[in-house]
Amino acid sequence: MKNRSISYSFRAAIRGIIFTFQNERNFRIELYIATFVFLALFLLQATLMQAAIIVTMTFLVLMIELMNTAIERVVDILKPRKHPYARVIKDVSAATVLVLSIGASIVGAIIFIPLIMNIF
């Protein structure tokens, strides 16, 4: 197996992020939300622990969206014709994004609601 350079690996990863950004509306929405959330962390003066939790949850959502995109593309290649399992695989993959997003939203609410309440 050929040993790849670290710069090649980074370029490949960046290409994957760019592809997903250009082709997946949900990923773009999640990036916009992430930007808003990071700005809110700063403006609401979250603690380092609160920020670490929110940043971790945000990057987990982005990561699972990238994995969802990869899974969908693999299914499209392996089963280009309609197959009942292809739909199930895609649906379950999308469900992982949904479940993690709901969990991240709950964690966000637990952290952000008290920070917002402290302003008033």
Rounded to an integer, what distance in angstroms lies between the CA atom of residue 115 and that of residue 120? 10
CATH code, domain carrying 71: 1.10.287.3610
Rounded to an integer, what distance in angstroms lies between the CA atom of residue 31 and that of residue 25? 10
What would the two tokens of residue 17 be?
A: 């992020």
Kindly state whether residue 94 falls inside one of the protein's structural domains.
yes
Domain of 97 in residue numbering reads as 6-119
pLDDT tens digits, one per residue of 29-88: 999 999 999 999 999 999 999 999 999 999 999 999 999 999 999 998 887 677 888 889
Residues annotated as catalytic (active site), given as ranges? 65
pLDDT tens digits, one per residue of 13-45: 999 999 999 999 999 999 999 999 999 999 999
Kindly state whether residue 1 falls inside one of the protein's structural domains.
no
Cα–Cα distances (Å) from 31 to 18, 36, 51, 77, 89, in that order, read: 12, 9, 17, 27, 24
What would the two tokens of residue 15 be?
A: 């290409």
Rounded to an integer, what distance in angstroms lies between the CA atom of residue 111 and that of residue 43? 14
pTM recorded for the entire structure: 0.88
The total number of structural domains in the chain stands at 1
